[in-house]
Structures are given as structure tokens and as C-alpha cells.
Amino acid sequence: MRVELNLASEPFGGKRAFWTLVSVAGGLLTVLAIVLVWTFVTSSDLPEDLIVRETQIQAELAGLAQAEAQATSKLNTPLGVEIIDRSTFLNQLLLRKGISWTRTFADVEKVLPPDVRAVMIRPEVAFSGTIQLDMTVGAKSPDGFIELLLALEESELFGYPNVRGSAPPTENNPSFSYQLTVSYEQEL
């Protein structure tokens, strides 16, 4: 049997081991922080191959910017602007030429009710390649026009119609007249 001899008036007890562990852990954390800071400072330099690649990319970017400036200066000349305008005009003509009138009339005829007739159809090709049909139709009664609107909405070839205006019958024109715009899905 072992007897402990503690002559202190206030015994230190188990606190000595705790403070020793805290001191050792603090010292280790300080050493670890110093190692991390030293590693960061010494490795903050980029690898040489990465620096060379960045320089190459910067040189390539400068060359592309110079080529863009040259192309822009050529396009901004009066001749360049004229060529761009002519190309845009010709592209629009080709798109319009690609619209089949026979197919357009056949598709419109499928959705027209018997008492509604097409007075005018004008296609417009948007920049996105979609076709908008600007139509004027005549109907014997408003019910026939409503049937046309329902048929357009149910059709897979036509989008939602946008009614732009209407006119009642007159002495010269005995039918109701309606103006509408509708998108048309014809393959160009």
C-alpha cells in the first residue's frame, strides 16, 4: 500500500496535468501555424510552366484583339456597310422565297370555317426564323370568326392569334372584317 505525501496547504491536485497538456497542445498548434504560414509563403509562386502558358495566352489574346480591330475597321468603311446591308437584304429575300405559298394557303384553308374567307395574307419572317402571318379575313357573322380563332388555337401549325382590329359590315362590304397576326410553323 502506498501513502501519498502532500505537504502543501492547498493541494494542486489534477490541475497540473491539465495545464501541462494545454501548454503542449498550444505549443504544437503554434508550430503547426508557423509551418503552414511558411509553406504558404514559399509556395505562393506560380509554377514556371503555368507562367509561360499565361504569357502565351496573353499574346494570343492581344493578337486576336488586333485582328478584331482590323476587321471592325474594314467593316465600318462605307463599302463594308453597303456589303453588310446588301447581304442582310438578300438573306431576307431568300428566307421569304423559302415560304411556300401553296402550302401556306392549304394550311390556312384547313382551319378556315365555311363562312369565313381570307382577304389578305402577308407573311413576315422574323430574325429567329419564325413566320408571322398578318391576315385580314371576312366573316358573315362574328361566330364564324370565333370558330376561326378556336381552329387556329387548336392547330399544331399556328400559334395563338393576336386580333389587331375589326370593322362592321358596310354598304360596300357586307361582311365583318378582322385583322389578326398569328405565328406559323412552316419548315423553311
State the Cα–Cα distance between residues 184 and 165, nearest whole angstrom.
Answer: 20
9 within domain boundaries: no
β-partners of residue 175 are none
Residue 72 lies in domain: 48-91
Least confident of 2-11, 55-64, 130-139: 2-11
Same domain, 110 and 178: yes
Q: Are residues 115 and 172 in the same domain?
A: yes
Indicate if the pLDDT at residue 188 is higher than 60.
no
pLDDT score of 14: 66
Which of the listed residues 91, 117, 142 is the one where a domain comes to its end? 91
Predicted TM-score of the model (pTM): 0.49
Confidence category of residue 1, pLDDT binned at 50, 70, 90? low
Looking at 91, 111, 126, the residue that finishes a domain is 91
Same-domain check for residues 123 and 157:
yes
Given pLDDT bands bounded at 50, 70 and 90, which one contains residue 95? low
For residue 136, being part of any structural domain is answered with yes
What average pLDDT does the structure give for the chain? 84
| Other Cβ atoms within 10 Å of 116 Cβ, number | 23
For residue 84, tell me if it sits in a domain. yes
Half-sphere exposure of residue 82: CA atoms within 13 angstroms, side-chain side: 3
Closest C-alpha to 132, from 110, 150, 158, 108: 158
Rounded to whole angstroms, the Cα distance separating 41 from 35 reads: 10
Domain count, the chain: 2
Task: From 99, 92, 137, select the one nearest 118 (Cα to Cα).
Answer: 137
Domain membership of residue 178 (yes or no) is yes
pLDDT at 100 over 70: yes
Please say whether the dihedral angle defined by the alpha carbons of residues 48, 50, 55 and 59, taken in this order, is positive or negative. Answer: positive
Residues 133 and 64 in one domain: no
**50-54, long-range: CB within 8 Å, 24+ apart, which pairs?**
none
Residue 98 scores a pLDDT above 70: no
Q: Examine the pLDDT at 103 and tell me if it is beyond 60.
A: yes
* 110 shares a domain with 63: no
pLDDT at 13 over 70: no
Q: Do 120 and 82 share a domain, yes or no?
A: no
Residue 146 within any structural domain of the chain? yes
Lowest mean pLDDT among 9-13, 47-51, 113-117, 119-123: 9-13
According to the model, what pLDDT value does residue 33 have? 96
Tens digits of per-residue pLDDT, 122-174? 888 776 667 888 999 999 989 999 999 999 999 888 888 999 998 998 888 88
> What average pLDDT does this structure show over 96-100?
70
137 and 169 part of one domain? yes
Return phi, psi of residue 103, to 5°.
-65, -40
Residue 161 domain-assigned (yes or no): yes
